[in-house]
Amino acid sequence: MPTVDASPGKFTFDLDTTALLVIDMQRDFLLPGGFGESLGNDVSQLRRTIEPLAALLTTWRAAGLPVIHTREGHKPDLSDCPPAKLTRAPKIGQPGPFGRILVQGEYGHDIIDELQPVGDEVVIDKPGKGAFYATDLSEILEKMGAKRLIVTGVTTEVCVHTTVREANDRGYECLVLSDCVGSYFPEFQRVGLQMIAAQGGIFGWVTESPALLKEIAR
């Protein structure tokens, strides 16, 4: 089976039971002038993931392997938005440069042009930070026969971390690609990745995408 050099050790996987998860690469978070930047964040810290992630998707798709995209957002009436979340993020649902912020169907809620889903790739709309909460991701992965997840997307310390922790509790082995995940805060990026691989891989493995691309190309 393919084996990738990673931290804390080698990550071995079977292509037939591995899925690529692309978390929340949405316009509201990544586009200059969008919701993320309106909060004072440096979107360039997230946008550096676009090129390596696009390259990964090209190779992954060429190999005929499954891709799952997620989008964080809510129904237009915000009925699926946890009250505590709305209290701490009152801009959700309000008008923004790209439509109502984090509302399904709005331009800003959708995935950036460079990474748009193709064909029958699964797109999961999630109301929380983790991709398993209030979604059918578990059922989709079970139907695929997936045992391992290649995790990419934003942000490292929030939606990526929450999803990896959820996946870990459900028995999935996760490989997080450090150049394909991003945080607005460099320190959070560094520490978030260290936390995943700490103590012998308490939540999973971490490596850069070229190591994985090399194995897929074989």
Q: What residues are annotated to the active site?
A: 24, 126, 159
β-bridge pairing 11-12 and 3-4: antiparallel
Bridge partners of 124, per DSSP, are 70
Closest-CA residue to 23 (of 70, 74, 72): 70
Q: Which two tokens stand for residue 37?
A: 């930047």
d(CA 80, CA 58): 34
Give the start-end residues of each E strand in 81-188: 95-96, 99-100, 122-126, 148-154, 173-182
Q: Closest by alpha carbon to 166, among 134, 123, 207?
A: 134
Measured distance CA(65)–CA(84) in Å, rounded:
37
Does residue 162 have a cis bond before it (omega within 30 degrees)?
no
Find the helix or strand (DSSP H, E) in which 140 lies.
helix 137-144
* Residues 181, 113, 111: CA angle, nearest 5 degrees: 60
**Taking the mean position of all CA atoms in its chain, how far away is CA 51?**
15
How many helices (DSSP H) and strands (DSSP E) are in the chain?
A: 9, 10
